[in-house]
Chains A and B, each alone.
Chain A
Amino acid sequence: MITRIRSRFGPEIVAVVLLLMAFGFSAFREPRFLDAEYLFDRSTLYMEAGILALSMTFVIIAGHIDLSVTSILALVGAICTTLVSKHGLPPAAMIIIAPVVGGALGALNGLLVSKGKLPSLVVTLATMALFRGVAQILLGDHSLPMPKELVGIHKIQLPGTYFHIPMVLLIILAVVAAAVLHRTVWGRWVTALGTNAEAARHAGIPTGKILIQLFTLSGVAAGIGSLLMLSRLGVARFDHARGLELDVITAVVLGGASIFGGRGTIFGTITALGLVGVVQTGMGVAGVKAEVQVAVIGLLLIVSVLFSNITARKRGR
């Protein structure tokens, strides 16, 4: 039984152990880590990455990648705040428009990958520049304010607890994502697509449709992430979330999703996101500069893939 669990959930167990170790070490160095209020306050910084990581888990399990999510996040923010402040859109409409616009941008990626038969890596590399570029055209070097009514939802807590709204949202979405990935036919199809795309197609799985749905989902997640980031920071800027794709992809891969597709869990992704958060917060407390923190996350990404390559080889694939 134990060996079976170990062989099936090895990467997730590693992520949990690493998270506990990082947490223990940080708490030892910095007692504030044991203060729930402090932890929940810090966690608000990682909710956008968390939502992007959920959809990225699906994309990576399907054997693809979406580098453009953070650019979609920035562009959705630019479009929504422009519509509100210059064209009189009611602020509440943003809640609908953001995911819709994000989904449309993601669908464009999906169409290019699915109908255009183009590799997702280069398509999303190009749209990463394109989408952020359009955001830059819209906003230039300025910031557009988020309508006041929508600012600061990360400061609203469930009564009597430290759980803030974005975290409640992330928890709900994570549960839904886990159910879809592990308990529905669609989730199995995504996994099958990543295991062997050719075989999946011959088995009658609508692979083309699934690809479009996957990238659309990724865009919708970026739209929701955009709302959270705008609400947290209070303004839209073209360079929002620049480089965040590194954190997102690291969380997914570190959480046990195979970069070659076919394997991964939502539980692992969320655990690894917690690990990334603890490591960054710990370094921040210790006075490590942001650029060096990025280097450590990059190292974490490479080591996690190296590690899974080695264990895969040991098992004889």
Chain B
Amino acid sequence: MNDLLVARDQVRYEQKIYWRNPMAAVFTFMFPVIFLLVIGTGAGSGKIQDSTLRYNQYLVLAMLVFGLVSACYINLGITLCIRRDSGVLKRMRGTPMSMLSYIAGIVGSVIINVALITILVVSIGMVGFNLHFPYHSAAAAITILIGVLTFSALGLAVTAIVPNGEAAPAVINGTAFPIVFISGVFYPINNSSILAKIADFFPVRHLVKGLVGAFETGPGSGFQTGDILIMLLWAAAAFAFALWKFRWEPRRR
């Protein structure tokens, strides 16, 4: 059986499952949009230090990051923990399906979700806040894709420290939100502040900076090489940890 075809089929089933269980979709899609409309409209278009972007334009990219982290790290991590608890992962492992195809199918579905969030949020930004179509569109697309890989790998890795499905939302949201907050997703944080120094250790702030760089007008390719490199390091570390510690079965007792 062709593993690629199986993975493609799995993307289709994952999409059906995702849209038939609207709670995850509401959180991932509605939250960034509502936040963008409410805060973006209210906070206005003040200038940001050292950037060609206005505040509400920055917020568009920040909400895209929030949607991406939610779709990859939070949704993916919680879904896998629930499936592990209910025995779905074990069942799949008892079939001749390649587990790489299975995971690829799940991540493929996540990529579709992130593409939809990107189109939704950037369209709102362009219509409502005069956001420029990504000035460096190749850099924007590749940065988003690397973001998907990084946070999907982190979503796979975090399942190893989640004891069971009930604990999954607490552990996964609890690790995501503090980092999202200090990374300047809701308001820009000055590069020289202590919060920024702490946040610079984690990948979220680098995704924000990478996207800002791709959307800012100006010369160059728009690639933020340093930020991309740090994300890739996180992706590699998370993937290695997942390979080492990922569990297909619920913990005994």
Tell me if chain B binds chain A: no
